[in-house]
Amino acid sequence: MKQDIRSLLLSTLVALTAAGCAEGAQGGIRAPAPRAGNATTLPGLEGPVTVTSDRLGIPTISATSRQDALRALGLITARDRMFQLDLLRRSNGGRLAEILGRGLLEADTRQREHGVPQAARAILARLPESQRAALDAYAEGVNAYLRSAEALPIEFQKLGYRPEPWRPEDSVLVVLGMFNALSESEDSERTQTVLTHSLPRGVMSFLLESVDPYTRALLGAQDTAPPPLPAEELRALVAQRRNQRPPSSPSQRVLGEDAGEAPIGSNGWAVAGQRTRDGRAILANDMHLELGVPNIWYRAELRYGEREVAGVVLPGVPVVIVGTNRHVAWGLTSLLGDVMDLVRLETVPERPGEYRTPSGWKRFDVAQETIKVRGEPDASVTVRRTIWGPVAARPLLGAPVAIRWTALDPEGVDLGILEMDRVRSVDEAVAVMSAAGGPGCNVLLADRDGRVAWTVTGRMPRRSGFDGSVSVSWADGRAGWDGYLAPAALPRIVDPPSGFVVNANHRMPLAQGAPVLARDHANGYRAYRITERLRETHPVAEADMFQLQLDTRAEFFGFYRDLALRVLTEEAVSRRPALAEARRAAAAWDGRADASSVGLPLLARFRRVLTDDVFAAWLGASRAAEPDLTLAPPDIDTPLQRALEARSADLVPAPAGGWDAFVLGALEKAMMAVKQENGGLPLDQIEWGAVSRVRIAHPLGASPELAALLNMPDEPLPGCSVCVRLSSRTVAASERLVVSPGHEQDGILHMPAGQSGDPLSPHYRDQQRAWVDGRPLPLLAGPAEHTITLVPERR
């Protein structure tokens, strides 16, 4: 859904601007340039601030206080990324149609129906004074840029509008956008609810409670025994599907594109001093997010008082999201936490406009939201709210549902991560992060004493009367939320005996009886591969950690290679000679996802065809109950592989030829699709780089006249959707950080594109080549090539 909105945004921007921008691209663009040399007045400053920039445009801000440093950060970020700042606040506040037209009205309507702008204001009002002061200071810096800019960035010029002043609540809107990317689980709960109501219990358990073999290996003694294969129930579902004349619907895609559109997630690990050459602890973190130009992150170093912080900032939010303060380094991976519930609302025709609550019947709070639409009259949207939250636009199994979500709760969100600038040990860092109210994330930590830790950040609901896995009614008061778990109740691992801790969005070991914080864990292959490599490498140095971030080993696909070779016998190939090509390609695969790897394009498509065909047969009844069902159980491969290993034609939609014929048919479909998409080349000449290509686009970059100027090159990228070097067409590592606290001079940080959002800036794309090629760049800024001095107003 989020990627659909992005595509719509791209196409709408192009339609509005292509003609005018073509002229600008030939010389009419004049980007705002930073002022250097003379002192510049910045209102609100308490003392002078110096901002130096190195050869990559990475700023180092030196101030006497945090507030002054954040004022300067706001100014410099706006100078480099103002259009990105404006798009972020508009997209999260439901105000894109105002500048882009009717094509973005649906996206705006969703944000307004959820009440995101109201939530941002309510959250801001509850923030502690220190956090509010940080947002105020940042806003002052952004607005100082807007007042002084000689020329606005190209996007404003071509769209013909001037951005409004930045408000502190705009920063909260940007934070809520990260909740939407990392902690929004509406589709997941809808899927699980529909499966629970439409499938036999055994099948539902088989699909949703299976633990993949890599995670089982990592968890060891924990109870991860897979649920039994519900053979009889699956046979009944397949037979029901087969007997439909015609089938209720064709196979529906479960996976993404050929490369396997990678899910948003991350890798993170920390290695203790006992496993390094000199006792230093080292942190590694690469966050996998949807890529764009400019990049989602902005690199910065801040120095104020005795504090020094370096890492990446989310434009719009005055916080170093991942980085180091020279005493502690921290990284994040998505928890994929369960922090949203769909509350089934009880309504009756006799009481229109009302719903039942524990205290009796209540009327819906109804409001009209006005959405401005470029070039058209304003649109009016009716929004209904309940005591639990806004009413979702789509009913679930015929009943309305309300959305209860930490992101919409003023008590569920804050900027507690700000305090990471002061922590001096992993113990202090665990205390800060477990109490912070950001999106649910795993936190990896390392300190300068050689210690490492893992914990969880974000508010986690304390549920009573239900487990949160499916939508239920809260009307009788027996089910609901009872506040949030105390920070001390959140899981943590400090000083692990192994000397390292790893998270790659997989299920972590929890104490007996610990609350369930997440259900949609990623397959454990990435975490397993990282763990395997760390056990093999001793001592570990920063260069080793960086190379591990670039690991392209892909044994995950070994199951599908072995399955293909098992059925591609001499007899089978003699009956279908065209399949000899598939056998050669599968046998030629080198077990990696390098750009030069052959065979993997076939295996990746083979996996997708099998998944689509098998799940379509199993979930026909579920899709009949909910046509919009998103067919994406948390772990697709484990139930699929177990059913295929049974070699029973009754468990899959096999033709008359039986199980072998089904698998061969899937191979043939995969082979034809890959060849067709690659100009008919033989399979053993189609390299993975032909399939795994990265496209990092600017919002205006779909215009042919502007593509070369605004977009990063469309080129092969090593890695795959399950590799440690996770990559796909639109999702990949948004940064790679390796750092040892106290040894920042040895640290590594690179990211796609560059610091600047100005296509004519030398810093628009000067980090892209290193990112694609897997070359390290220094964490710390280099020698100053540009200096700005900011001074307070005279009084």
Which residue segments constitute the domains of the chain, with CATH numbers given? Answer: 186-254+555-590+594-691 (no CATH), 344-406 (2.30.120.10)
What's the pLDDT at 3?
46
Cis amide bond preceding 539, omega within 30: yes
| Amino acid, res. 355 | Y
What's the pLDDT at 21?
40
* Helices assigned H by DSSP within 296-379: none
Distance CA 654, CA 656 (A): 7
Would the annotation count 258 as a binding residue? no
What's the pLDDT at 261?
60
**Strand (E) or helix (H) holding 786:** strand 786-791
Q: What is the average pLDDT score of the chain?
A: 92
Give the tokens for residue 484: 């949030």
Please answer whether residues 700 and 14 qualify as being in contact, where contact means their C-beta atoms are separated by less than 8 angstroms: yes
Determine how many CB atoms are found less than 10 A away from the CB of residue 91. 21
Q: How confident is the model at residue 560 (pLDDT cuts 50, 70, 90)?
A: very high
* Residues in Cβ contact with 66 at an 8 Å cutoff, skipping those fewer than 6 apart: 134, 137, 304, 305, 307, 421
Place of tokens 């809260």: 474
Distance CA 523, CA 638 (A): 9
What's the pLDDT at 248?
45
Distance CA 592, CA 719 (A): 8
Which of left, alpha, beta for 771 (phi over 0: left; psi -120 to 50: alpha)? alpha
Place of tokens 């600047």: 756
pTM: 0.94
- Reported as a single tens digit per residue, the pLDDT across 402-425 is 999 999 999 999 999 999 999 999
- Reported as a single tens digit per residue, the pLDDT across 264-283 is 789 999 999 999 999 999 99
* Residues in Cβ contact with 514 at an 8 Å cutoff, skipping those fewer than 6 apart: 491
- For residues 498-503, average pLDDT: 98
Q: Answer whether residue 523 shows pLDDT above 60.
A: yes
- For residues 132-142, average pLDDT: 99
- For the chain, give the percent of residues with pLDDT over 70: 92
Place of tokens 């404003």: 156
Number of residues that make up the chain: 795
* Residues in Cβ contact with 89 at an 8 Å cutoff, skipping those fewer than 6 apart: 95, 166, 170, 173, 174, 316
* Residues in Cβ contact with 664 at an 8 Å cutoff, skipping those fewer than 6 apart: 567, 568, 572, 576, 579, 657
- For residues 194-198, average pLDDT: 93
Q: What are phi and psi of 50, to 5 degrees?
A: -115, 130
Q: Output the CA–CA distances (angstroms, integers) from residue 741 to 266, 447, 449, 452, 744, in the order listed.
A: 21, 6, 9, 11, 6
**Strand (E) or helix (H) holding 360:** strand 360-363
- For residues 654-672, average pLDDT: 92
What's the pLDDT at 224?
67
Q: Answer whether residue 20 shows pLDDT above 80.
A: no
Q: Answer whether residue 324 shows pLDDT above 80.
A: yes
* Residues in Cβ contact with 570 at an 8 Å cutoff, skipping those fewer than 6 apart: none
* Helices assigned H by DSSP within 186-230: 186-198, 201-208, 213-219
What's the pLDDT at 92?
97
- For residues 625-654, average pLDDT: 83
- For residues 523-527, average pLDDT: 96
What's the pLDDT at 13?
55
What's the pLDDT at 32?
44
What's the pLDDT at 8?
54
Distance CA 106, CA 531 (A): 43
CA distance from start to end of the chain: 52
- Reported as a single tens digit per residue, the pLDDT across 429-470 is 999 999 999 999 999 999 999 999 999 999 999 999 999 999
Better pLDDT: 615 or 26: 615
Better pLDDT: 148 or 657: 148
Of 522, 497, 640, nearest to 215 by C-alpha is: 522
Lowest-confidence region among 16-25, 91-100, 181-190, 401-410: 16-25
Would the annotation count 306 as a binding residue? no
What's the pLDDT at 436?
98
Active site residues: 266
Q: Answer whether residue 54 shows pLDDT above 90.
A: yes
What's the pLDDT at 33?
44
Of 660, 670, 651, 655, nearest to 607 by C-alpha is: 670
Q: How confident is the model at residue 241 (pLDDT cuts 50, 70, 90)?
A: confident
* Residues in Cβ contact with 594 at an 8 Å cutoff, skipping those fewer than 6 apart: 552, 688, 689, 718
What's the pLDDT at 265?
84
Longest dimension (CA), the chain: 91
What's the pLDDT at 636?
87
Please answer whether residues 443 and 424 qualify as being in contact, where contact means their C-beta atoms are separated by less than 8 angstroms: no
Better pLDDT: 363 or 183: 363
- For the chain, give the percent of residues with pLDDT over 90: 80
Q: Answer whether residue 604 shows pLDDT above 90.
A: yes
* Residues in Cβ contact with 238 at an 8 Å cutoff, skipping those fewer than 6 apart: 617, 618, 650, 651, 652, 653
What's the pLDDT at 620?
85
CA-based torsion, 595, 733, 767, 14: positive or negative: positive
Distance CA 206, CA 217 (A): 19
Q: How many helices (H) and strands (E) does the chain have?
A: 24, 28
* Residues in Cβ contact with 221 at an 8 Å cutoff, skipping those fewer than 6 apart: none
What's the pLDDT at 247?
46
Please answer whether residues 663 and 563 qualify as being in contact, where contact means their C-beta atoms are separated by less than 8 angstroms: yes
Q: Output the CA–CA distances (angstroms, integers) from residue 14 to 291, 371, 373, 374, 703, in the order listed.
A: 18, 22, 17, 15, 6
- According to DSSP, the β-strands at 298-304 and 307-313 are antiparallel
What's the pLDDT at 263?
73
What's the pLDDT at 317?
99
- For residues 543-560, average pLDDT: 98
Q: Answer whether residue 22 shows pLDDT above 60.
A: no
Would the annotation count 189 as a binding residue? yes
